């Protein structure tokens, strides 16, 4: 079923997010942002009107991206309950839609993932997403939203690092993983399925990310993610799926953070 075709207008999005301060932004800044995020290219895809899992697969087709999935046989059967899928986050865009396409087909579209609320502007993707905004009233409602998703009848896809991977001492790896997936999976008796996505962004992305970190600047590297997606055209990636980790594994012998690190290690060993 096709969704209403809603195109991206970066100027309208910025004005909505920053309110009255938008009047101070020069016109050339908006022009630069349109080029940076490849607004016309994105809208060319959005005009196809795809929605949900079809939206995810359509992105891969539009970009002519191919994916090799290893360990597909490790995915538990749909009738055996609901699961939490946790993955490293090397790319910030393609990895998300790839897992949406792969797992969505396996589980008949019954998946949800937590995303930056900016992505809710992609109406075709929105039905699969739970927006995360750590500022204002939405931040206060986040714990309740997380609880509702884990109580629901959908499988959950999570990138526990939150941000996409960074380069540290020459090694590209996730930042620290958060404990939410451990706490909620244990509480709601969901086995955890580890996923390792093989891929990396451009050197420019990692330079900008490290520059922002060094000088305590906002996460400006996030603005480069649409361009990273654009550059991925014709790319090939690999997804490695590990065997499920029973929820009973997460005992009180370790803290939730320690268990999160344990699962992170399992992911990178795949």
With vertex at residue 218, the alpha carbon angle to CA 141 and CA 195, rounded to the nearest 5 degrees, is 65
Query: Which residue, among 143, 144, 116, 139, has the nearest Cα to 129 in the 3D structure?
Result: 116
pLDDT at position 203 over 80? yes
CB 185, CB 193: distance < 8 Å: no
In order of 148, 187, 249, the CA distances from 141 in angstroms are 11, 19, 29
H or E stretch at 22:
none
CB 174, CB 181: distance < 8 Å: no
Helix (H, G, I), strand (E, B) or coil at 237: strand
pLDDT in tens, 212-228: 999 999 899 999 999 99
Write down the mean pLDDT value for the chain.
Answer: 92
Dihedral of alpha carbons 247, 155, 13, 208, sign: positive
Q: How far is CA 136 from the centre of its chain?
A: 21
Query: Which residue, among 9, 97, 111, has the nearest Cα to 55 in the 3D structure?
Result: 97
Helix (H, G, I), strand (E, B) or coil at 193: strand
CB 57, CB 172: distance < 8 Å: no
CB 200, CB 239: distance < 8 Å: no
Query: Which residue, among 132, 135, 118, 114, has the nearest Cα to 37 in the 3D structure?
Result: 118
Helix (H, G, I), strand (E, B) or coil at 116: strand
Query: Which residue, among 113, 119, 98, has the nearest Cα to 160 in the 3D structure?
Result: 113
Distance CA 57, CA 99 (A): 10
Show the tokens assigned to 21. Answer: 């301060």
Q: How far is CA 175 from the centre of its chain?
A: 14
How much of the chain, in percent, has pLDDT values that exceed 90? 75
In this prediction, residue 2 carries a pLDDT of 47
pTM exceeds cut of 0.75: yes
Distance CA 7, CA 49 (A): 10
Kindly list the domain boundaries of the chain, sorted by start residue: 1-49, 64-269
In order of 17, 93, 122, the CA distances from 6 in angstroms are 18, 19, 8
For the segment 4-25, the average pLDDT, to the nearest whole number, is: 83
In this prediction, residue 133 carries a pLDDT of 65
pLDDT in tens, 15-51: 888 888 888 888 999 899 999 999 999 999 999 999 9
Domain 64-269: top CATH class = alpha beta
Query: In this structure, what DSSP letter does residue 245 have?
Result: B
CB 186, CB 224: distance < 8 Å: no
pLDDT in tens, 61-113: 999 999 999 999 999 998 889 999 999 999 999 999 999 999 999 999 999 99
pLDDT at position 4 over 60? no
Contacts of 207 (CB under 8 A, 6+ apart): none
């Amino acid at each position: 079923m096709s969704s209403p075709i809603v195109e991206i207008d970066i100027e309208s999005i910025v004005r909505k997010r920053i309110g009255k301060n938008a009047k101070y932004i020069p016109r050339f800044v908006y022009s630069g942002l349109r080029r940076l995020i490849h607004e016309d290219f994105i809208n060319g895809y959005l005009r196809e009107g795809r929605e949900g899992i079809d939206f995810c697969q359509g992105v891969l087709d539009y970009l002519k991206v191919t994916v090799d999935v290893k360990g597909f046989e490790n995915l538990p059967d749909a009738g055996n309950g609901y699961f939490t899928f946790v993955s490293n986050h090397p790319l910030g865009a393609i990895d998300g839609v790839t897992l949406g396409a792969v797992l969505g087909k396996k589980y008949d579209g019954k998946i949800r993932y937590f995303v930056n609320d900016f992505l809710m502007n992609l109406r075709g993707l929105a039905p699969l997403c739970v927006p995360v905004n750590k500022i204002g009233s939405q931040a206060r409602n986040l714990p309740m939203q997380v609880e509702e998703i884990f109580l629901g009848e959908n499988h959950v896809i999570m990138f526990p690092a939150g941000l996409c991977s960074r380069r540290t001492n020459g090694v590209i790896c996730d930042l620290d993983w958060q404990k939410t997936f451990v706490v909620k999976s244990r509480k709601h008796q969901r086995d955890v399925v580890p996923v390792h996505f093989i891929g990396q962004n451009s050197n420019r992305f990692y330079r900008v990310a490290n520059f922002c970190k060094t000088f305590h600047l906002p996460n400006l590297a996030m603005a480069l993610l649409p361009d990273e997606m654009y550059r991925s055209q014709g790319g090939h990636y690999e997804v490695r799926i590990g065997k499920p980790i029973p929820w009973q594994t997460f005992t009180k012998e370790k803290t939730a953070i320690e268990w999160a690190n344990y699962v992170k290690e399992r992911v990178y060993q795949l």
